[in-house]
């Protein structure tokens, strides 16, 4: 489908390409949200990251290489965007001063959580998320893409530019470390 959209854009048929691109968004939206949430843990940042990823994909669809699966290309764009947002948030939080207690604005009302958000908010979800956060960066990335995004090790290999054997080693070590962390917590 991405190759068709690329051909439409190259032929100057941007409206038809936008219509077809809506189908890609519908197919990948849920998976992209799960991946972004694992990186960002903030619903508003997740929405921003996913939307930015789709915009970047459409804007650069002419650079899409048909020899790579679309999922791999899209996931690489999404993950890089999430990492950039995390860095920006960390820089921003270094300079934020706490609001005065007496004149603090009211907290915004959060939308009703989805079933996935309720599951992640559960005690088990918090324990697992905390354990995943303790993993080294590469192991956390591989674990997230394999287990949360449900990608194969070969897809993760192409996404991260690593050998497949290296991905399997990182995944094995991540699972082993998670087991240890979760057993010690119990």
- Could you report the per-residue pLDDT of 50-71, keeping only the tens digit for each? 999 999 988 888 888 888 788 8
pTM over 0.75: no
**Shared-domain flag, residues 119 and 165:** yes
The tally of domains found in the chain comes to 2
Q: What is the pLDDT of residue 115?
A: 66
Looking at the structure, do residues 119 and 33 belong to the same domain, yes or no? Answer: no
Length of the chain: 186
* Listed residues 94, 126, 151: the one ending a domain: 94
Instruction: Please tell me the chain's helix, strand, coil percentages from 3-state DSSP, rounded to the nearest 5.
Output: 75, 0, 25
Tell me which residue of 127, 137, 133 sits closest to 160, measured CA to CA. Answer: 137
Shared domain for 79 and 144, answered yes or no, is no
Whether residue 104 is contained in a domain is answered as: no
- Residue 76 shares a structural domain with residue 14: yes
Q: What is the pLDDT of residue 114?
A: 66
The residue behind tokens 């930015």 is 52
The residues, ordered by sequence, that sit 6+ positions from 89 with a Cβ below 8 Å of its Cβ are 42, 45
120 shares a domain with 86? no
Looking up residue 144, the CATH number of its domain turns out to be 1.10.10.10
Regions of the chain where pLDDT drops below 70: 93-122, 186
Q: Which CATH number goes with the domain that contains 21?
A: 1.10.1740.10
- Domain holding 169, by residue range, is 114-186
Domain end (from 38, 66, 94): 94
Residues 36, 76: one domain? yes
**Same domain membership, residue 137 and residue 90:** no
Position 7 scores a pLDDT of 80
What pLDDT is recorded for position 4? 80
Q: Is residue 57 part of a domain?
A: yes
Q: Are residues 34 and 63 in the same domain?
A: yes
- Note whether 157 and 164 are within 8 A (CB): yes
Q: What is the pLDDT of residue 116?
A: 62
Domain boundary among 94, 123, 144: 94
Count of CB atoms within 10 A of residue 126's CB?
11
Quick one: 86 and 15 in the same domain?
Answer: yes
SS3 30: helix
From CA 123, how far away is CA 135, in angstroms rounded? 19
139 domain residue, yes or no: yes
138 in the same domain as 79: no
């Amino acid at each position: 489908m991405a190759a068709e959209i690329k051909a439409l854009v190259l032929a100057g048929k941007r409206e038809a390409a936008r219509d077809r691109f809506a189908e890609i968004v519908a197919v990948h939206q849920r998976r992209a949200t799960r991946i972004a949430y694992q990186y960002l843990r903030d619903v508003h940042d997740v929405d921003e990251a996913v939307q930015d990823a789709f915009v970047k994909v459409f804007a650069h669809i002419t650079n899409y290489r048909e020899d790579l699966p679309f999922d791999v290309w899209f996931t690489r764009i999404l993950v890089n965007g999430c990492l950039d947002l995390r860095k920006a948030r960390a820089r921003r939080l270094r300079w934020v001063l706490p609001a005065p207690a007496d004149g603090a604005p009211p907290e915004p009302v959060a939308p009703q959580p989805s079933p996935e958000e309720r599951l992640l908010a559960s005690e088990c979800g918090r324990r697992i998320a905390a354990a995943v956060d303790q993993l080294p960066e590469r192991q956390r990335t591989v674990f997230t893409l394999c287990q949360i995004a449900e990608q194969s090790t070969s897809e993760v290999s192409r996404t991260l530019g690593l050998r497949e054997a290296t991905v399997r080693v990182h995944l094995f070590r991540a699972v082993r470390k998670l087991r240890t962390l979760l057993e010690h917590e119990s």
